[in-house]
A and B are shown apart, each in its own frame.
Chain A
Amino acid sequence: MHELGITQSIVEIAERTAKEQQAMKILSVTIEVGSLAGVVPEALEFCFEACSKGTLLEGAQLLIERVPARGRCLDCGREFPLEELLACCPDCNSAAGEILAGEELRVKEMEID
């Protein structure tokens, strides 16, 4: 359940930014979660309600953008969607690949009032 700590970071980052902007209220915060980031989006939503209580984020919407994973084959160069960490290249079946996207775990933006 490391989503709890991750959610606390969301609240920290959003509150710090809101204070810098002298915002009175945060309406929504958008985060990007890659499909290989090892984080369960539903668990983040669950933790968010508890973590945002009594902060500028109370009542704000948590918008989660899921980033699908993409990989590139190191043998033939083909780029392809990664369903899982272990996928082989659909063209040449090579297991040697690099991850291009899908490990994201960041606060993208927020809407303030």
Chain B
Amino acid sequence: MCIDCGCGPTDQHHHDHDRPKSKTINIEEDLLAKNNRLANRNRALFQQQGLLVLNLVSSPGSGKTTILETTLKDLQNEFGFAVLEGDQQTSNDADRIAATGVPAHQINTGAGCHLDAHMVGHGVEHFDLQQTDILMIENVGNLVCPAAFDLGEDAKVAVLSITEGEDKPLKYPQMFRASRLMLINKLDLLPYLRFDLEKCRDYARRVNPEIEIIELSCYNGEGLDQWYDWLRKQLGKKKP
């Protein structure tokens, strides 16, 4: 009897016994499964605390930190905030946020190009979540990689500053497709730039027909009320 497969001398051989005895194992496991599992754990924790959690994504230099500083100064008497800052290096952003008096924690990703659910899970251990209504996560400035990594947030907010050009949503469709809101920032610069606002809105809606859009400027205050109302509305959905 054949020691490889147990077939007898009269059996017809459909296989080759000289091959190494390798076998194929079916796996079918999603490569982001681990991150997604941790993101769901974060989400359950946030849900239990009634937190609104936003994941701010953009290119470097779009003004995410300035939007946060302005928002915190204007709304910190209304809501309890906490801010997680993601950057490859330095604690500059967390220092800027901490200067507003709001609890902030810096996550340095080193070589990493995005925050993941594991980092966020440990990052929030630095906060008293019972005192927090809104957790802002400022992701690493990068319009590519953070799109794939769920952190357990309620929504991604994509920030696009008008110095970057109106076709960013077309060039980086995954990110704008994954976002619930697009903030078009630095609106005060509009008279000095050739930026087509209408085209930008159109491009974003082509990528994501559901996306909400708010245009704002932290320097002249335009559009900030709309952004704050959006935040109130989202928080209202969490705490009925």
What residues of chain A have their CB less than 8 Å away from a CB belonging to chain B?
1-2, 4-6, 9-10, 12-14, 17, 21, 27, 31, 36-39, 84-86, 95-96, 105-113
Contacts and interface: CB of A to CB of B under 8 A. Distances in A.
Contacts of A36: 174
B130 interface: no
B7 interface: no
A85 B122 CA distance: 34
25 contacts: A2-B113, A2-B114, A2-B145, A2-B148, A5-B116, A9-B33, A13-B29, A17-B25, A17-B27, A27-B20, A31-B31, A36-B174, A84-B173, A85-B177, A85-B207, A86-B173, A95-B206, A106-B27, A106-B31, A107-B27, A108-B26, A108-B27, A109-B24, A109-B27, A112-B23
Given A2-B148, A107-B27, A113 B114 contact: no
Contact-size category for B: 20 to 34
Contacts of B199: none
A21 B148 CA distance: 31
Interface in B172-219: 173-174, 177, 206-207, 209
B233 interface: no
A27 B22 contact: yes
Contacts of A6: 31-32
A111 B32 contact: no
Contacts of B224: none
Contacts of A4: 111
Interface of B: 20-34, 111-114, 116, 144-145, 147-149, 170, 173-174, 177, 206-207, 209
Given A85-B174, A86-B207, A106 B22 contact: no
Contacts of B112: 2, 5
Nearest to A25: B22
Contact of B170 (A13, A21, A86, A112): A86
A35 to B, nearest CB: 12
A24 to B, nearest CB: 11
Given A9-B32, A38-B144, A96-B209, A21 B116 contact: no
List 9 tightest A-B contacts by C-beta distance, closest first. A2-B145, A85-B173, A107-B27, A106-B30, A9-B31, A105-B31, A111-B22, A107-B29, A109-B26
B207 A112 contact: no
A1 B24 contact: no
Contacts of A5: 112, 116
A106 B30 CA distance: 4
A95 B208 CA distance: 10
A105 B112 CA distance: 19
Given A9-B33, A36-B174, A107-B28, 19 more contacts: A2-B145, A2-B149, A5-B112, A13-B27, A17-B27, A27-B22, A85-B173, A86-B170, A96-B209, A105-B31, A106-B31, A107-B29, A107-B31, A109-B25, A111-B24, A112-B22, A112-B25, A113-B20, A113-B22
Nearest to B146: A2
B28 A108 contact: yes
A12 B207 CA distance: 34
Contacts of B148: 2, 37-39, 105
A113 B22 CA distance: 5
